[in-house]
C-alpha cells in the first residue's frame, strides 16, 4: 500500500460529521459518595487554562489508518482549515513517507489495530529517531476501553481520540496537543517541562519525552510530587518516611542509589537537597504539572457542603454553582485517573479524592433541560469516571433513545451488562 497526499477541500464534512458520536473514554472507577473526608488545602494559587482552541490553517498532518473511509472522514473534518493531509493506509507507507519528505508533519494521527504493523509499534519506531520523536502523536482508534486508553497514554502519546468522533472533538484534540507542544518547545524559556500524571504518566522536556531510568526512580519522583499540594511546590519529608512508604524493605545503600538515579533523571526540572535525614524536593519554576493545574481549577469551584448523588430531580440549581468557563477548564485538565499504573495506597488516596471531587462537579453541572445529545455527553463524562454508577447508566440509555441514537443506546446497554457482570 502507498500513501497519497492531498489538500482537503473536496468532501462535505458536515454530512460525514453528523454521524459521529462522542465515545471518548477516560478511566477510573470510584464510589459516588463525594466530598466526604479530608479536603485539600484551599489556600492555593489560581492558574489559568487556555480557552477553546482553534486550529491554524495549512497544518501538515500525517494520518495512518487502514480504513480509507476513516481517512476521508478526517480529511473532510479538517477541510475548513485547509490542512495538508497525507493519508497512509499502512505503517510501512508512513515510514516511507517520513523518510522521503522534507516537510516534517505538524502532528501524526494514527490508528492502533492495523494489518502487519500496529500503531504501538509505529510509535515505538518514531521514538528511535531524535527528530521524529518530537512530532506530536495522537492515537485515533476504535479501542476505547480503560485498558487500551491506559496503554496508549503509557506509550507516551500526546493524545487519544476514540472513534467515532465529531469534528469538534477532532479539532479540539489536535488543537490542545499542538498548544501544549508549542508551550513546551517555545524559546521564551531556556528550559521548559511538563509533567503528566493524569491518564498516564510522562515527563516532557522541551517537548521531548524523557523516559525514567527505572521504576524505582519513577516511584520516588511521583511520590514526592504527590506530597506537594497545588501552589506548594516545595516538599520537605523524612527519608525514612519515603523508604517505608514505597518499599517494605530496602537498604540504606539501595535507597541512596535510587535517589541518585532519580536526581540525575530530574536534574533539569527539579531541585533537590538531600541530607542524612531529610529530602527537600521542588519543581523548578519553568515546570508545569497537570495535577497541580487541576487542583488549582478545583479550588475555584464554590460548592456546597453536600451534593446530590441521584438524578435528575434532586439536582441543585446549577446556574448558582457552576461557571461554564471553569467547567471547560476542568474538562481540558481531567484526562483520566491519577497515576493509573501505580495501584499502591500512596497514589490511591489522592486518585480517589480527585475522581470523587470531579464527579461531584459534573453531577452539579448536569442540566436535564439541555438538548438530549448534549445531556447524554455530559452523563457519559461522569460514567467515564465512575462506570459503576448503574442509575446513571439507565439515565444515559434513556437519554440516547430520546435523542434518536438507537445504535448508541444499544451499545450502552451492552456496556452496562458487561459492567454489571
> What secondary structure does DSSP assign to 13-61, as a single string?
HHHHHTT------------S-TT-SPPPPS------------PPSS-EE
Confidence of residue 183 (pLDDT cuts 50, 70, 90): low
How many residues in the chain? 421
From CA 317, how far away is CA 221, in angstroms rounded?
A: 42
Dihedral sign of CA atoms 278, 284, 285, 291 in order? negative
> Mean pLDDT throughout 355-378?
90
- Provide the strand spans (E) within 304-418: none
- Phi/psi for 349 (5° steps) reads -65, -45
| Spatial CA neighbour of 261 closest among 204, 211, 306, 329 | 211
User: What is the reported pLDDT for 302?
Assistant: 64
Confidence of residue 319 (pLDDT cuts 50, 70, 90): very low
Please calculate the CA angle 232-296-324 and round it to the nearest 5 degrees. Answer: 175
pLDDT at 10 over 70: no
From CA 222, how far away is CA 232, in angstroms rounded?
A: 15
> Mean pLDDT throughout 299-326?
56
Provide the terminal-to-terminal Cα distance of the chain, rounded to the nearest Å: 42
- Phi/psi for 153 (5° steps) reads -75, -35
| Set of cell numbers at residue 309 | 448523588
pLDDT at 402 over 80: yes
User: What is the reported pLDDT for 349?
Assistant: 92
Residue 92 near residue 116, CB atoms below 8 Å: yes
> Mean pLDDT throughout 157-186?
83
| Set of cell numbers at residue 117 | 504493523
> Mean pLDDT throughout 157-162?
86
CB atoms within 10 A of CB 410: 13
From CA 303, how far away is CA 318, in angstroms rounded?
A: 10
pLDDT at 48 over 70: no
Residue 186 near residue 192, CB atoms below 8 Å: yes
| Spatial CA neighbour of 199 closest among 317, 413, 28 | 28
What's the gap between Cα 197 and its chain centre?
9
CA quadruple 349, 350, 356, 357: dihedral, nearest 10: 150
pLDDT at 257 over 50: yes
- pTM, rounded to two decimals: 0.55
Residue 321 near residue 302, CB atoms below 8 Å: yes
Residues facing residue 107 across a β-bridge = 61
Residue 403 near residue 373, CB atoms below 8 Å: yes
Confidence of residue 50 (pLDDT cuts 50, 70, 90): very low
pLDDT at 45 over 60: no
Residue 305 near residue 228, CB atoms below 8 Å: no
Please calculate the CA angle 370-388-142 and round it to the nearest 5 degrees. Answer: 75
| Set of cell numbers at residue 105 | 508533519
> Mean pLDDT throughout 15-30?
33
Task: Give pLDDT tens digits for 53-65.
Answer: 578 888 999 999 9
Lowest mean pLDDT among 104-108, 219-223, 299-303: 299-303
From CA 316, how far away is CA 366, in angstroms rounded?
A: 9
Amino acid at each position: 500500500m502507498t500513501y497519497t497526499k492531498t489538500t482537503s477541500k473536496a468532501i462535505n464534512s458536515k454530512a460525514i460529521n453528523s454521524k459521529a458520536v462522542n465515545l471518548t473514554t477516560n478511566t477510573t472507577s470510584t464510589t459516588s459518595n463525594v466530598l466526604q473526608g479530608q479536603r485539600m488545602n484551599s489556600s492555593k494559587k489560581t492558574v489559568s487554562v487556555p480557552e477553546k482552541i482553534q486550529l491554524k490553517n495549512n497544518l501538515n498532518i500525517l494520518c495512518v489508518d487502514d480504513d480509507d473511509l476513516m481517512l476521508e472522514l478526517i480529511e473532510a473534518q479538517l477541510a475548513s482549515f485547509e490542512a495538508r493531509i497525507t493519508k497512509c493506509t499502512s505503517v510501512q507507507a508512513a515510514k516511507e513517507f517520513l523518510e522521503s519528505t522534507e516537510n516534517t508533519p505538524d502532528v501524526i494521527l494514527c490508528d492502533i489495530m492495523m494489518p502487519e504493523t500496529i500503531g504501538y509499534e509505529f510509535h515505538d519506531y518514531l521514538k528511535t529517531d531524535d527528530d521524529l520523536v518530537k512530532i506530536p502523536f495522537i492515537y485515533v482508534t476504535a479501542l476505547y476501553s480503560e485498558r487500551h486508553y491506559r496503554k496508549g497514554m503509557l506509550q507516551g502519546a500526546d493524545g487519544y481520540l476514540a472513534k467515532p468522533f465529531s469534528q469538534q472533538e477532532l479539532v479540539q484534540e489536535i488543537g490542545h496537543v499542538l498548544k501544549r507542544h508549542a508551550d513546551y518547545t517555545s524559546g521564551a524559556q531556556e528550559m521548559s517541562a511538563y509533567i503528566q500524571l493524569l491518564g498516564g504518566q510522562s515527563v516532557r522536556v522541551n517537548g521531548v519525552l524523557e523516559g525514567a531510568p527505572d521504576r524505582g526512580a519513577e516511584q520516588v519522583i511521583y511520590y514526592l510530587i504527590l506530597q506537594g499540594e497545588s501552589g506548594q511546590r516545595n516538599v520537605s519529608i523524612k527519608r525514612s518516611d519515603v523508604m517505608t512508604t514505597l518499599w517494605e524493605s530496602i537498604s540504606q545503600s539501595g535507597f541512596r542509589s535510587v535517589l541518585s538515579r532519580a536526581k540525575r533523571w530530574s536534574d533539569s526540572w527539579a531541585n533537590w537537597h538531600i541530607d542524612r535525614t531529610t529530602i527537600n524536593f521542588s519543581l523548578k519554576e519553568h515546570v508545569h504539572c497537570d495535577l497541580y493545574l487541576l487542583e488549582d481549577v478545583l479550588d475555584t469551584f464554590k460548592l456546597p457542603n453536600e451534593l446530590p448523588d441521584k438524578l435528575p430531580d434532586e439536582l441543585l440549581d446549577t446556574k448558582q454553582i457552576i461557571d461554564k468557563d471553569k467547567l471547560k477548564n476542568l474538562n481540558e485538565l481531567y484526562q483520566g485517573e491519577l497515576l493509573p499504573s501505580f495501584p499502591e495506597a500512596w497514589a490511591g488516596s489522592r486518585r480517589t479524592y480527585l475522581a470523587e471531587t470531579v464527579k461531584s462537579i459534573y453531577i452539579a453541572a448536569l442540566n436535564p433541560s439541555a438538548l438530549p445529545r448534549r445531556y447524554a455527553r455530559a452523563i457519559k463524562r461522569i460514567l467515564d469516571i465512575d462506570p459503576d454508577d448503574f442509575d446513571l447508566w439507565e439515565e444515559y440509555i434513556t437519554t440516547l433513545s430520546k435523542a434518536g441514537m438507537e445504535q448508541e443506546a444499544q451499545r450502552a446497554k451492552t456496556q452496562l451488562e458487561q459492567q454489571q457482570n
